[in-house]
């Protein structure tokens, strides 16, 4: 088992990575929190896989909320349902909420834990690759509004994250591929060794190490910029154009990972147009394709430009792009909005 600790503004979080950790949930939670009761939040896809395994480990009262699976339920109404469930279970600030599932479950549960009684302790047990390498670590929680994704939320660190790579064996191939886009992102922005590891046909044999390397990068970045005002923005490599593509597809035509994959190739093309010494586009594209991810924009550049403009914060005259001009090194580059159309034509 590997251990990383993340020192945030309000304390230290422990991140444990190891196969079989789900079987040790109660032991780790009791050791860290000594709660009087726990409340597990999971979704309708994940409950049949892990709920009983986790519940039966505790010899203190356990209550459960099983929310409907899917991004369309990442709403304030789901959070309100959780508050009522917490109250009927008698949860107090001395108790513990455990989120078991992918990014959506983690984000909703994290926000409910951050705000219920002004904060109850939180443990994240991510069961998708994307949640294991990204969303369960770093304390971003929140829900969507009709106007857009993640518009309401809070920074709230889970004090414990239990990452069990064995959980990935039950994932459908497409969901695993989605997480690989984020893994490849970490390789591009910080550690090219990750790209080397995932280029091997038997890369899954090293998945524990790959997850550890990704989480370590995220931990290091979050410790420097927990509230996302500077360095943390490099985690958005591929996400600016990716979000525009997701939006153009009404958030259904492309998965998040597919959009990030397309966005990373576009951002790499932009890096080249702005003078990167080496053309890294073919290398990135072939690695993404090897993992079943798309690399070409399914929308016109003018549509992407319009989608970017509609997202632009009012009155901002620059837009931040994350550029990778050398593998393992990302820069936050504010580009003038007045020249945005010209830049987008290069992707
Ligand atoms: N997923 C990007 C971040 O946590 O900042």
Determine the pLDDT at residue 305. 93
Which of 156, 110, 126 lies closest to 6, judged by CA?
156
Among the candidates 170, 204, 222, a domain finishes at 170
Residue 197 and residue 151 in contact, taking contact as beta carbons nearer than 8 Å: no
**Using a 6 Å cutoff on CB, does residue 183 contact ligand 1?**
no
CB-count exposure of residue 314 (10 Å: 0-12, 13-18, 19+): exposed
User: Within this chain, do residues 29 and 66 fall inside the same structural domain, yes or no?
Assistant: yes
Q: How far is the CA of 180 from the centre of ligand 1 (A)?
A: 15
β-strands 318-326, 140-145 pairing: unpaired
Strands, E assignment, 137-259: 140-145, 148-155, 160-163
User: Within this chain, do residues 97 and 186 fall inside the same structural domain, yes or no?
Assistant: no
How many Cα atoms are found within 13 Å in the side-chain-facing hemisphere of 228? 12
Whose Cα sits closest to atom 2 in ligand 1?
Answer: 235
Number of C-beta neighbours around residue 56 at 10 A: 10
Tokens at 27, concatenated:
């032991």
Q: Give backbone dihedrals phi and psi of 94, rounded to 5 degrees, phi first.
A: -90, -5
- Number of structural domains in the chain: 2
Rounded to whole angstroms, the Cα distance separating 345 from 304 reads 10
Determine the pLDDT at residue 148. 86
Whose Cα sits closest to atom 3 in ligand 1?
Answer: 235
User: Within this chain, do residues 24 and 95 fall inside the same structural domain, yes or no?
Assistant: yes
At 20-36, the pLDDT tens digits run 999 999 999 999 999 99
User: Within this chain, do residues 287 and 155 fall inside the same structural domain, yes or no?
Assistant: no
Residue with tokens 């279970």: 89
pTM for the full model?
A: 0.96
Q: Rounded to a whole number, what is the largest CA-CA distance in the chain?
A: 62
Q: How far is the CA of 208 from the centre of ligand 1 (A)?
A: 21
Determine the pLDDT at residue 315. 67
Question: The CATH number of the domain where 141 resides is what?
Answer: 3.40.50.1970
User: Within this chain, do residues 156 and 198 fall inside the same structural domain, yes or no?
Assistant: no
User: Within this chain, do residues 162 and 198 fall inside the same structural domain, yes or no?
Assistant: no
β-strands 121-126, 96-101 pairing: parallel
The percent helix, strand, coil of the chain (3-state, each to 5) is: 50, 20, 30
User: Within this chain, do residues 337 and 195 fall inside the same structural domain, yes or no?
Assistant: yes
Range of the domain at 71: 2-170
User: Within this chain, do residues 221 and 333 fall inside the same structural domain, yes or no?
Assistant: yes
Question: The CATH number of the domain where 210 resides is what?
Answer: 1.20.1090.10
Determine the pLDDT at residue 101. 98
Q: How far is the CA of 234 from the centre of ligand 1 (A)?
A: 9
Rounded to whole angstroms, the Cα distance separating 214 from 83 reads 33
**Using a 6 Å cutoff on CB, does residue 140 contact ligand 1?**
yes
User: Within this chain, do residues 61 and 138 fall inside the same structural domain, yes or no?
Assistant: yes
The rounded Cα 199 to chain-centroid distance in angstroms is: 22
Rounded to whole angstroms, the Cα distance separating 62 from 86 reads 11
User: Within this chain, do residues 240 and 157 fall inside the same structural domain, yes or no?
Assistant: no
Among the candidates 114, 139, 170, a domain finishes at 170
User: Within this chain, do residues 156 and 192 fall inside the same structural domain, yes or no?
Assistant: no
Determine the pLDDT at residue 316. 81
Determine the pLDDT at residue 314. 61
Atom of ligand 1 at shortest range from CA of 137: 4
User: Within this chain, do residues 150 and 179 fall inside the same structural domain, yes or no?
Assistant: no
**Using a 6 Å cutoff on CB, does residue 228 contact ligand 1?**
yes
Angle between helices 256-273 and 173-189 (to 10 degrees): 30
Atom of ligand 1 at shortest range from CA of 221: 5
Residue with tokens 């049949």: 48
Residue 133 and residue 218 in contact, taking contact as beta carbons nearer than 8 Å: yes
At 116-165, the pLDDT tens digits run 999 999 999 999 999 999 999 999 999 999 988 899 999 999 999 999 99
With a cut of 70, which residues of the chain have pLDDT below it?
312-315
Rounded to whole angstroms, the Cα distance separating 200 from 236 reads 25
Q: How far is the CA of 136 from the centre of ligand 1 (A)?
A: 9
Rounded to whole angstroms, the Cα distance separating 210 from 128 reads 14
Determine the pLDDT at residue 311. 75
**Using a 6 Å cutoff on CB, does residue 153 contact ligand 1?**
no
Q: How far is the CA of 337 from the centre of ligand 1 (A)?
A: 24
Among the candidates 108, 136, 170, a domain finishes at 170
Q: How far is the CA of 199 from the centre of ligand 1 (A)?
A: 24
């Amino acid at each position: 088992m590997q251990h990383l600790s993340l020192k945030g503004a309000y304390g230290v979080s422990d991140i444990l990575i190891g196969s079989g950790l789900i079987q040790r949930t109660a032991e780790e939670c009791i050791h860290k929190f000594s709660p009087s009761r726990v409340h597990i939040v999971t979704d309708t896809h994940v409950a049949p896989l892990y709920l009983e395994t986790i519940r039966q480990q505790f010899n203190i009262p356990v209550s459960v909320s099983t929310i409907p699976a899917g991004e369309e339920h990442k709403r304030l109404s789901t959070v309100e349902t959780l508050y009522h469930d917490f109250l009927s279970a008698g949860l107090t600030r001395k108790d513990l909420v455990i989120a078991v599932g992918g990014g959506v479950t983690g984000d909703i549960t994290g926000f409910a834990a951050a705000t219920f009684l002004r904060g109850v302790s939180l443990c994240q047990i991510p069961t998708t690759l994307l949640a294991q390498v990204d969303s369960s670590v770093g304390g971003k929680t929140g829900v969507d509004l009709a106007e857009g994704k993640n518009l309401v939320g809070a920074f709230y660190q889970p004090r414990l994250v239990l990452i069990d790579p064995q959980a990935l064996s039950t994932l459908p191939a497409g969901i695993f591929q989605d997480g690989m886009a984020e893994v490849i992102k970490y390789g591009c922005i910080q550690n090219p060794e990750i790209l080397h590891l995932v280029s091997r046909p038997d890369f899954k044999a090293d998945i524990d190490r790959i997850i550890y390397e990704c989480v370590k990068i995220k931990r290091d970045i979050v410790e420097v910029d927990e509230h996302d005002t500077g360095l943390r923005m490099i985690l958005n490599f591929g996400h600016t154009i990716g979000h525009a593509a997701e939006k153009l597809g009404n958030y259904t035509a492309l998965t998040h990972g597919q959009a990030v994959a397309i966005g990373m190739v576009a951002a790499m093309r932009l890096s080249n147009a702005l003078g990167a010494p080496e053309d890294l586009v073919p290398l990135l594209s072939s690695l993404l394709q090897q993992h079943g991810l798309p690399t070409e924009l399914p929308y016109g550049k003018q549509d992407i430009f319009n989608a970017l403009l509609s997202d632009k914060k009012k009155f901002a005259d620059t837009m931040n792009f994350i550029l990778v001009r050398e593998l393992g090194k990302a820069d936050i580059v504010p580009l003038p909005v007045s020249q945005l159309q010209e830049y987008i034509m290069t992707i």
